[in-house]
Each structure stands twice: as C-alpha cells, then as structure tokens.
A = this chain, B = another copy of it.
Amino acid sequence: MPNHKGFVLWFTGLSGSGKSTISNRLVSEFKARGYNVELLDGDEVRTHLSKGLGFSKEDRDTNIRRIGWVAKVLARNGVIAITAAISPYADIRNEIRADVESEGRAAFVEVYAYAPLDALVERDVKGLYKKALAGEIANFTGVSDPYEAPENPDFTAFTSEESVDKSVERLINHLAEKGLIS
C-alpha cells in the first residue's frame, strides 16, 4: 500500500448535486490504487453516531462535527476519509478544516458539488424537491433551510455541466498536483 499522508475529502452540496455518486466512484478509484479509503456519508453516520438527532441547526452541526471528528481520526492514520453529507453551514466546515489541519498530520480538501438549484429541481431524482417545494418536508436544504456555498472551495465539480467521469478525472488530477496521491 502506498505510504502517504492521509487527507479528508470533504464534499458539500445540495441534495442531488452528485456528492454520493462522485464519492462512490472515488472510493473505487482509490481502492484500485491501493489506498485505505473510507466513505462517511450523512445517513450512515446518523445511524451509527447520531441516532436521535434531528435537523435543527444545532443538531445538524453536531452531526457534522461528529463526521468531522471521525474523518480527522482516520486521516491522521493515513486513511483517505471521504465525507458526503450536505454540510450546509460554512462556519462548521471551516471549523473542521482548522481542526483537521491543526496537528499537521492530515490535509483537508473541500469539494463543492455544484449544480444550479433549477437543474436539481428539474432532475429531482428522488422526488424530494417536489415534496419540499410543496411544503411536505421541513428543513429541506436549499428550499426551506439555508445552504451556504463555499466561498473558496479547493475544487468544484460542475455536476450539471460535466460528466461524472470528467469530475472524477479532474479531481484526481487536482489531488495528484497537490501531492496528496501519486
């Protein structure tokens, strides 16, 4: 297995923006290259670490902080920790970046999965936007709950304009240029 510094690949983006699709593809890519990689998605962490938490800002922040802590612990042990939760609040994402990087044992890469809200509403793979716009889902990020886009993400995947293949290829090149993978 390659001997390398671990890092956190932190996806953020609206529901349906492609976080999970790209993340899952990256897991396969990294495994094929012999890296230890772990995908922490929002739902899995809610099951194992945050049962009982709701979707208020406070509870969302707590859930995201827990994902961040686990990702940090993995990354400082040489693992590529990919997170794929919406993580709507910029201050929490920045707090986690600072925490991950504070020990000098791991890097933090913020990846913005971006598509215009219109495109997501139109695509609406899971039918969630329709329900949210009809008022049937409370606290739906981007519709009835805030989403704070990253001001200066390390990487942006333009998921309504480029293919998954293209996003993955560009992101892998970006990580190689930063010296995080070889």
Question: What is the chain B residue whose CB lies nearest that of A51?
Answer: B62
Q: Which residues of B contact A3 (CB under 8 A)?
A: 1
Minimal beta-carbon separation of A81 from chain B (angstroms) = 9
Q: By the criterion of a CB under 8 Å from any partner CB, how many residues of chain A are at the interface?
A: 18
Q: What CA separation (Å) do A124 and B74 show in the bound complex?
A: 35
Interface assignment of A137: CB less than 8 Å from any CB of chain B: no
Minimal beta-carbon separation of A19 from chain B (angstroms) = 19
Q: Which residues of B contact A37 (CB under 8 A)?
A: 77
Q: A48-B65, A70-B70 are in contact. List 6 more A-B contacts (CB 8 A).
A: A1-B78, A38-B77, A49-B69, A49-B70, A51-B62, A78-B78
- Residue numbers of A with Cβ under 8 A of B are 1, 3, 36-38, 48-49, 51, 62, 65-66, 69-70, 73-74, 77-79
Q: What CA separation (Å) do A163 and B73 show in the bound complex?
A: 31
Interface centre among A3, A48, A62 (most CB of B within 10 A): A48
Question: What is the chain B residue whose CB lies nearest that of A62?
Answer: B51
Q: Are B78 and A36 in contact (CB under 8 A)?
A: yes
> Given B48, B78, B79, which contacts A69 in the complex, CB threshold below 8 Å?
B48
Interface centre among A49, A65, A69 (most CB of B within 10 A): A49
Question: What is the chain B residue whose CB lies nearest that of A80?
Answer: B77
Minimal beta-carbon separation of A118 from chain B (angstroms) = 37
Minimal beta-carbon separation of A34 from chain B (angstroms) = 10
Q: Are B66 and A49 in contact (CB under 8 A)?
A: yes
Minimal beta-carbon separation of A43 from chain B (angstroms) = 14
Q: Which residues of B contact A38 (CB under 8 A)?
A: 73, 77
Q: What CA separation (Å) do A37 and B105 show in the bound complex?
A: 13
Q: What CA separation (Å) do A49 and B53 show in the bound complex?
A: 12
Q: What CA separation (Å) do A27 and B114 show in the bound complex?
A: 42
